[in-house]
Structure 1
Amino acid sequence: MENVSSLILIGTVHRDPHGYKKLFHLLSEIKPRIITVEISPYSLSFRAKHVPEIRRILRENLRRMKNEDSLSLKEIISHGAVMSIFCLLKDPFEWQAAKFYAQISNAYLFDIDLSVYAQEKLAYLAELVSLENLKSLYKLPSRSFFKEISAQYAKANHLFHNPPKIWPVTKEILEREFYMAEKIRQIFKSNEGVIFCHIGGWEHLLERPDGKSLFHLLQDLNPQRILLPNN
């Protein structure tokens, strides 16, 4: 019997405010039976246990800024850096959209990123929402959060069609690329004949000069690569 398995890699710009709607729509069109997401078990556990309290501290410190510096909450929250923190504290839209799609379609959903690096990064969240840090960020020039997201999509689209000749790669990135590739390969080969989607940051799907991006490592599975649209 002919193998009709299909692996589709969906590249996203993390923290896209409109990402949930776009991704859910795309998944509804593709109709995958298996979905993997670039998120770690530790990240999901940490967010469920600790982020509500971190959000409370953030709101409290924003009120203190308002009172101490005679600012309106609207002024503070509209600052690009502060808005970025709010988006960071939300569950990633990639996981939210995939989870909801899986619930209504009975698709299988897997979190496949390495926990060790998520643990290091999430440890800084409490410091990020401290009053001192918020005041420091507010003093910086405010860049439009939405324009930054659009710029990331433009950059991703360009590099998908014009692979970079130079691209810095860290030990962390390499370890995560190989780890996620192996996870995807194991799940893919155990579920032949179904549509399989992986969702993750667009940088992992580049044709990098080192030849070790997630996209490269999965070439034997003949993946299709899609960039989430910027609209």
Structure 2
Amino acid sequence: MTKILLIDDDVELTDMLADYLKQENFTPTIAHDGEEGVDEALSDAYSMVILDVMMPKMGGTEVLKRVRQKSTVPVLMLTAKGDDTDRILGLELGADDYVPKPCTPRELTARIRAILRRVSPALPDSPEVIHVGLLEIYPENRHVTWDGTPVVLTSTEFNLLKVLARHAGQPVSKNDLSLMVLDRPMARFDRNIDVHMSSLRQKLPLLPGERSCIQTVYKHGYQLIRE
């Protein structure tokens, strides 16, 4: 059974979510404060972390920052409804996705399954290596190198880069990226893809002339340069 870590100080909410997750064949563990949550998240015992932004002592953004220093475990943020600042900050710090509170257990479970599908596809990926210039992507073990040097990416960043690499030299629309990477069409004012792409650009070395290998193609989306 897939182990899920819930980090939230709301006892009533986490108990309800844990009960629902058990019915959906997940194995939930609850941490009610940030420090305990960091320790648990870094134990390599969980397939995914559900993290609330608003917590006493250590907030969710600080928890995420500490986790991302040492781990690429998928993280789904719980944010206040309508609070774009928390959402964007969470994505910039390496969260894979977010769900606004209040949310239903069914919605949360659907989002969990979508992320887990992206991290561990039901069918094994092709063992072939994708080469684009100095970039090499190994889909089977989800490994990326640039000129032989490993590049550490979150699961969402890896999936974005893989899609762009398989369409290298051609623009891919934001909506297509959202469908292929986030398993849902892009909503109005949705900045998920833009924020993940910004983070991905920062992690990839620049091309000669201080150019990013990922170009924004006006009105068409994003394109990985084939050089």
Q: TM-score when scaled to structure 1?
A: 0.25
> Whose strand proportion is higher, 1 or 2?
2
Answer 1 or 2: higher relative contact order, Cα 8 Å, separation at least 6: 1
TM-score (norm 2): 0.25
The structure carrying a bigger helix percent of its residues is 1
